[in-house]
Amino acid sequence: MSILIGKQTRLLVQGITGREGAFHTQQMIEYGTNVVAGVTPGKGGEWIHGVPVFDTVKEAINATEANTSIIYVPARFAADAIMESADGGVKLVICITEGVPVLDMIRVQRFLKGRDVRLIGPNCPGLITPGEAKVGITPNRFQMSGSVGLVSRSGTLTYEVMQALNDKGIGLSTAVGIGGDPIIGSNFIDILRLFESDPLTDQVVVIGEIGGTDEQKAAQFIKERMTKSVTGFIAGRTAPPGKRMGHAGAIIQGGEGTAEEKIKAFEAAGVRVAQQPEEVAEIVASQM
């Protein structure tokens, strides 16, 4: 079983006529995702990879009944694109764009408050339900479905852990990249709650990194609310304080957000923490 995306997904692509949008639209179609529409203002009436292009999200939804949107527009337009999707009636918005200004995301958070819409990202790889649908930039080679859910702040580590699991014959229900920016839509707890409620997800993998306290909050949720086995990995063990490591949110400031703190919190919650990404698969296999 999957969470958030699957055969029921009807996807529209914002920024479909751009280089990244067009490329990944083709990749998603080849994977089997039901891409029903694209949106680029001023390009309505065109077709990209057999997908009709509309000027606005509302026009696209009215014509195609799209229920999910993915955003590949430049950073300066990303906030408006997110809000346009939410206002148009889409229930799930995935923003791949990186470099979205923090002030723009504060504006997005305020706009989404109280609305029945879920945001994944920005600056994330998106989601994949192996064998059913891919909404994002995850490589198409991952086709093995199974009962392990994965949620991660890191795109690259998501792929590495998925490959390690596949190499051991372990498939995933859904993998969700939530992004590593300081302000994002859905967080660890939001996704963990969905996996906990999914009857066909038996285990969960959490991939965190330095910076902030989201992993500590997730550990508390796992300790208090999760009944399923959770395996963790924290990137950035050797990162020096004050130096950003990759993501905008991956920085140790004021002595807070270290890998050691996060690992300690996970272990206190009964989460087995891998030393290396490939060790995640070994721990998961031992708990099956």
Backbone φ and ψ of 80, nearest 5°: -65, -35
Joined tokens for residue 258: 């270290």
Joined tokens for residue 142: 């991952």
Please say whether the beta carbons of 72 and 19 come within 8 A.
Answer: no
Please say whether the beta carbons of 231 and 275 come within 8 A.
Answer: no
How many CA atoms are closer than 13 Å to the CA of 201, on its beta-carbon side?
28
Query: Between the CA of residue 11 and those of 37, 104, 112, 137, what are the distances in Å?
Result: 7, 24, 20, 14
> How many residues comprise the chain?
288
User: For residue 165, which of 138, 145, 151, 180 has the smallest C-alpha distance?
Assistant: 145
Neighbouring CB atoms inside 10 A of 167's CB total: 11
CA–CA separation, 288 and 285 (whole Å): 5
Query: Between the CA of residue 228 and those of 71, 81, 177, 255, what are the distances in Å?
Result: 32, 36, 20, 32
How many CA atoms are closer than 13 Å to the CA of 92, on its beta-carbon side?
19
247 has catalytic annotation: yes
The catalytically annotated residue of 247, 249, 251, 283 is: 247
Please say whether the beta carbons of 201 and 3 come within 8 A.
Answer: yes
How far is residue 167 CA from its own chain's centroid? 22
Joined tokens for residue 22: 């067009």
Catalytic positions: 247
